Amino acid sequence: MKLHTLPKITTRSKKRVGRGYGSGKGGHTTGRGTKGLKARGKIRVGFEGGQTSLVSRLPLRRGKGNLSAGKKPLVVNVKYLNLLPKNTLVTVDILITNKIVKKDEAQKYGIKILGDGKLIVPLKVNLPTSKMAAKKIKEAGGEIVKPKTQNQKPKIKVRNKKLEKEKGEK
């Protein structure tokens, strides 16, 4: 066996810290500095040096999967609707095709129209709107078409028998 015929080794073996002088990383403090918890042992995951941990700082929300914040809809201001042609029925699909919103975001969060800016073009809007946006759409000569909700429960009047008896007696 000759030295020039040996294969080259690119990876070195790991230095075993704190295992004496022959281990490859001296004795005594072995690269851990002097004193303190980090020099002596392991530190648990999430330890922040004595400061109140992130888990303790967050509000207690019970149940599984309650960590995410509420999903708010995408905001589309009235001024961007001027890009659409006259008397268009404004839906999510129309806003996607005119590249006002991105498809994946619109489907994930939904869309709400707010009243920032001026609206010149009369439009029929079939999306949730703020009061100011609704006012500006109507001023421009457009209208708001209420979207049909599929799982809407019919309103049932609950009768209070005691009140009915009192009204009948009087």
Domain boundaries, the chain: 74-144
pLDDT, tens digit (0-9, with 9 covering 90-100), for 144-164: 997 655 455 555 555 666 666
Paired strand residues for 75: 112
Which residue matches tokens 């129309």? 94
Alpha helices in the chain (DSSP H): 37-40, 54-57, 92-97, 103-109, 131-139, 161-169
pLDDT digits (tens, 9 = 90+) for 64-120: 777 666 678 999 999 999 999 999 999 999 999 999 999 999 988 899 999 999 999
Average pLDDT over residues 117-141: 93
Fold of 74-144: Ribosomal Protein L15; Chain: K; domain 2 (3.100.10)
Structure tokens at 148: 């049909």
8 Å CB contact between 85 and 95: no
pLDDT in tens, 30-66: 888 888 888 888 888 888 888 999 888 888 877 777 7
Q: What is the pTM of this model?
A: 0.50
| Cα 108 to Cα 119: distance, rounded to the nearest angstrom | 27
> Coil, strand, or helix at residue 13?
coil
